[in-house]
Amino acid sequence: MDYTTLRAAARRRWNRRHSGKLRIAVQVAHCSQAVGAAQVAATLRDAVERHSLNAEVVETGCDGACFLAPRLSIAAAATAARPALSADAVWLSRVTLLRAEAIVETLATTRMPPSDPGPDRFFSAQTRRITERFGHVDPADVDDYIVRGGYEGLCKALAMTPEQVIEQVLASGLQGRGGAYFPAAQKWRAARAHANVARYLVVNAEEGEPGIFKDRHIMEAEPHRLIEGAVIAAYAAGAERVFLYINAEADLSAARVARALEQAYALKVLGDDVLGSGVRVHAEIRRGAGGYVCGDETTLLNTVEGDRRVPRLRPPFPTDAGLWGKPTVINNVETLSNVPFVMTQGAAAFASVGLDNAKGTKLISLSGAVQRPGLAEAPIGTTLRHIIYEIGGGPLPGHTLTAIACGGPSSGVLPPSMLDTPLRPGQIHGSGVIMGAGGVIVVDERTRVIDVVRKQAWYNANESCGKCTPCREGTPKMAVALDRLASGQGKQADLDELRELAEVVGAASLCGLGQAAGGPINSWLQMFGEEMRGLAGVR
């Protein structure tokens, strides 16, 4: 099916259901649920029905401005040819249940809701590609996705050969966004090279580490974007089965992806004859087995097969022998969500931002002691200063930035003197600090840096699967040594032990959890010497 036909049919269905109605979009996501967004949506629905308004209440995902949740927009009547976007809408933020009732009272009489200028700088300081429709598109309505340009990339891909799709994505420079930054299409090519054998695609949506919430935002805000990217990747790799491996606690993500899969099957985006192309792709959800270690590729494969959540030895690599010993591509949620942009806008457009060796944008999970925490999107190579001050608004009023925890518990901490460090693949500091999956946690003077490192160390110790001795025995020893230092009972011997353990555990562990567990400790030892020496009683 060509895209013109697909979109025209979606417009007709969209118009029958929505045209002429006032649209009230409430951002309900894992962040805003904590401050009552679902209750706000329910209150608005009841009030709309009570006042017999020609309006609909739509639950969207979060647009990234988590600091303003719960957040909603009210848009005038639209048609599928011009669905309501931010320019057509009145935005309201931090909506209480009482205010929700007042909004509907106002709509019922004057249709002039109170206005809110919105977090202009938070958005204007970003480069929004993946996130451009977040907060606008209805994740439960595939037609809403299509009339806004969704599935055009898949139609273009199906008009090409798999090899041409691979070449286009390779030319774009798209690398994985899970932390390793391996070229995405190289995995597709490697799996496709195994002819006359079943091949699989696994979507890694485990995302269990503290301070990282980008993949959940994608699945909650625009699940069809992920499905579109996954079907394109499966077509390119020759995979007929897709497994979406979603964190065991990400219930809202799983529910929205499950509904999107049902709609994709009904639309023939999935099935035995994808959009009339003769291509066969089936997809299903598998929930995570619980634990940070499940984000490791080979651990993930074990749990899909029903085995223990422990890593495998590599080689062989998954593209040679993955699920049930067959070639398997494993791509991260954010990685696949970039693919529709590459197919619709082209390789050059994707590569127009970023670094020479790392193209495109990166989703940043910004949290901690910062004025505007949330999900941001910026070109790879953007500095921490820009992320924290331009997008995030800087530290909270009256407080001073003292450290930045980057990349999650497998990375490390940086001092304020390194604010101009660009976020890029690989190490951003020689101590082992990495961009990782893109977490940035701002720390101010109310929290000691050692307490941040202790929490990371205990997290790694508790999440160790226990399969290999260095990680099983070494990670808790590091955490205990940090406890002694933090309590004022530390000595020089504890610092020596930490240095040795960080090196040994990193060199001898089987998977990435243990291999990177010494990162936070090494960065603290190297860059926070004054605090370190004071706690150890060393001048």
pLDDT tens-digit map of 483-502: 999 998 989 999 999 999 99
Query: How sure is the predictor about 456, in pLDDT bands with cuts at 50, 70 and 90?
Result: very high
Beta-sheet strands, E only, within 297-448? 328-332, 354-355, 358-359, 361-368, 374-379, 401-406, 412-414, 439-444
Say whether pLDDT at 211 is over 60: yes
Query: How sure is the predictor about 355, in pLDDT bands with cuts at 50, 70 and 90?
Result: very high
* CA distances, 351 to each of 24, 168, 379, 481 (Å): 36, 11, 10, 45
For residue range 306-326, what is the model confidence (pLDDT) as tens digits? 999 999 988 999 999 999 999
Q: Are strands 374-379 and 412-414 parallel, antiparallel or unpaired?
A: unpaired
Task: With H, G, I as helix, E, B as strand and everything else as coil, classify residue 522.
Answer: helix
Residue 309 in contact with residue 289, Cβ under 8 Å? yes
Least confident of 4-13, 368-377, 409-418, 524-533: 524-533
Residue 535, pLDDT score: 78
List CB contacts of 345: < 8 A, sequence separation 6 or more. Answer: none
Residue 50: CB atoms within 10 Å: 11
Say whether pLDDT at 245 is over 60: yes
Residue 531, pLDDT score: 81
Domain spans of the chain, in order of start: 16-119, 149-350, 358-447, 450-536
Query: How sure is the predictor about 117, in pLDDT bands with cuts at 50, 70 and 90?
Result: low
CATH of 450-536, one of 1.20.1440.230, 3.40.50.2300, 1.10.10.10, 1.20.1050.10: 1.20.1440.230
Name the DSSP class of 359.
E
Residue 125 in contact with residue 391, Cβ under 8 Å? yes
Residue 152, pLDDT score: 98
Is residue 109 packed enough to be buried (19+ CB in 10 Å), middle (13-18) or exposed (0-12)? exposed
Query: How sure is the predictor about 262, in pLDDT bands with cuts at 50, 70 and 90?
Result: very high
Tokens encoding 527: 């860059």
Query: How sure is the predictor about 82, in pLDDT bands with cuts at 50, 70 and 90?
Result: confident
Sign of CA dihedral 84, 87, 88, 91: positive
CATH class of 16-119: alpha beta
Query: How sure is the predictor about 116, in pLDDT bands with cuts at 50, 70 and 90?
Result: low
pTM of the entire structure? 0.95
Say whether pLDDT at 119 is over 90: no
Residue 532, pLDDT score: 75
> What is the arithmetic mean of pLDDT over 189-199?
96
> What is the arithmetic mean of pLDDT over 255-274?
98
Say whether pLDDT at 108 is over 90: no
Residue 31 in contact with residue 69, Cβ under 8 Å? yes
Say whether pLDDT at 128 is over 90: yes
> What is the arithmetic mean of pLDDT over 16-29?
92
Query: How sure is the predictor about 513, in pLDDT bands with cuts at 50, 70 and 90?
Result: confident
Query: How sure is the predictor about 538, in pLDDT bands with cuts at 50, 70 and 90?
Result: low
Residue 83, pLDDT score: 78
Is residue 77 packed enough to be buried (19+ CB in 10 Å), middle (13-18) or exposed (0-12)? middle
Residue 145, pLDDT score: 97
Mean of the per-residue pLDDT values of the chain:
93
Integer-rounded Cα Rg, in Å, for the chain is: 24
> What is the arithmetic mean of pLDDT over 177-186?
93
Whether CATH 1.10.540.10 fits 358-447: no
Say whether pLDDT at 101 is over 60: yes
Taken as a whole, the chain contains a residue count of: 539
- Residue 363 phi, psi (nearest 5): -80, 130
For residue range 130-142, what is the model confidence (pLDDT) as tens digits? 999 999 999 999 9
**% of the chain exceeding 70 in pLDDT:** 97
Say whether pLDDT at 529 is over 90: no
Residue 110, pLDDT score: 78
Is residue 507 packed enough to be buried (19+ CB in 10 Å), middle (13-18) or exposed (0-12)? exposed
| Homologous superfamily, domain 149-350 | NADH-ubiquinone oxidoreductase 51kDa subunit (3.40.50.11540)
Query: How sure is the predictor about 190, in pLDDT bands with cuts at 50, 70 and 90?
Result: very high
